Structure 1
Amino acid sequence: MDEQTSWTVITEQRLVLADLLDGLTAAEWESPSLCAGWRIRDVAAHVATAPQPPGMAVMLGAAVRGRGSFNRVNHDMAVRHAARPPGEIVAELRRHASSRRLPAVTNYRNIVPDVLAHSQDVAIPLGRDLPMPVAAARAAAERVWTMGWPFWARRRLRGVRLTATDIDWSVGAGEPVTGPIAALVLLLTGRTEAARPHIAGPV
């Protein structure tokens, strides 16, 4: 998927997520997401802040408080932003949906799987159906498979061959694991329990 198409997908998925969030109850905003230790509102805030990267001083302060742990820094910054009213978070998602600003540590190729997976982090535990665009999901799967940190998909899924059943995509070697590309994206990004009902094979 080329750069322009990738940005179109990112914009569309931010807006789709905003629409989903806009109809949630107060209790749903506080409920757990698929990410351990993250509420729905924390995930929403994380996605909303991607096109609003903080300055270097803020990042350094967060790194000190997080003792150098990227995961802790990411979580703490999301929780801090999530203190805003839900309506403000939704408005930010919409306002910055087409923005191409990103934190210095990432790029648009990483944001495609990020926004796809995080949208499912919100939708799945709430029992909402949020279809993942198939072509975008394939691009996300390919990116996660090749990028290493933070998912280490090739290491975690060593000994299996992943094959999508709804689009031409296959990687790995070993025991066959098959399913829709959206489910494979969940598996590749470590959301194994959410993926398992939709895939066949030893995972």
Structure 2
Amino acid sequence: MALLQDLNGLAPTKWQTSSLCVGWDVHQVLAHLVDAACTTRLGFIGRLVASGFDFDKDNATGVTKELRADPQETLAAFAAVLGRTSTPPAPLATRLVEAFVHGEDIRRPLLIGRDYRAAHVATALAHHLKTGTKFGGGRETAEGSRLVGTDDEFSHGAGQEVRGPMIDLLLAVSGRPVQAGRLTGEGVPGFTARIAAGP
């Protein structure tokens, strides 16, 4: 609901703004969120088989399917699926990860600010750090660092410390760029180098 509110009235020229998700503009990220909300457990398995078990290919297919010529129509489709409870065969915490990361994929390039409940971000971050990069998580990215949330009592791992708001830590371990100065600590150079190197 919050993202719908943030995007209502967005200027037509802004929909082509590059998102934080490499290769997608903000309109395409929204289409991905529509697709994810429409995907059932059984449907996900069938699509994954059809894509040759290539997650990126499957995601691209879903975006193509849900992307309307008029961004306002994609936004209307997003509004229509907000109440759906269908989900791919993955822990429910992945829905939080999707909402936070893709929400910021859209908001940050558009300079739209949004506050999140720290406890919910902590749940998403903890799950993401347990999930391997092969499955879209950030476990390997965080290895060798101690991540400390500055907006809640959250810490993970061992090694040189990286401190920052949990939403920024979540974006970082998801491979997204984080604004300079948002993360601090002696472990930042090595941590950001691992992010830049990719999975």
* Same structural fold, with TM-score higher than 0.5 when normalized by the shorter chain: yes
Residue 126 of structure 1 and its aligned partner are, at CA, apart by: 1.0
CA distance in 1, matches of 2:94, 2:54: 19
2:23 equivalent to 1:37: yes
Residue 186 of structure 1 and its aligned partner are, at CA, apart by: 0.8
Structure 2 SS opposite 1:178: strand
2:8 equivalent to 1:22: yes
Partner residue, 1:161: 146
Residue 17 of structure 1 and its aligned partner are, at CA, apart by: 0.8
CA distance in 2, matches of 1:129, 1:181: 15
CA contact (8 A) 2:47 2:58 kept: no
Partner residue, 2:33: 47
CA distance in 2, matches of 1:125, 1:144: 23
TM-score, normalised relative to structure 1: 0.81
Partner residue, 1:11: none
CA distance in 2, matches of 1:55, 1:157: 29
CA contact (8 A) 1:41 1:86 kept: yes
Gapped runs of 5+ residues in structure 2?
192-199
Partner residue, 1:173: 158
Residue 56 of structure 1 and its aligned partner are, at CA, apart by: 6.1
Structure 1 SS opposite 2:148: strand
2:191 equivalent to 1:199: no
Residue 62 of structure 1 and its aligned partner are, at CA, apart by: 7.3
CA contact (8 A) 1:165 1:178 kept: yes
CA distance in 2, matches of 1:60, 1:90: 26
Q: Provide, for residues 77-107 of structure 1, a one-character-per-residue CA deviation record: whole Å limited to 9, x for no partner.
A: 213311342222222222221221113x334
Aligned-partner residue type, residue 88 of structure 1? E
Structure 1 residue ranges (4+ consecutive) displaced by more than 4 angstroms after TM superposition = 54-64
Number of matched pairs: 186
Partner residue, 2:80: 95
Structure 2 SS opposite 1:136: helix
CA distance in 1, matches of 2:49, 2:148: 38
After superposition, the CA RMSD in angstroms is 2.3
CA contact (8 A) 1:110 1:143 kept: yes
TM-score, normalised relative to structure 2: 0.83
Residue 60 of structure 1 and its aligned partner are, at CA, apart by: 4.6
CA distance in 2, matches of 1:17, 1:41: 12
Q: Percent identity?
A: 24
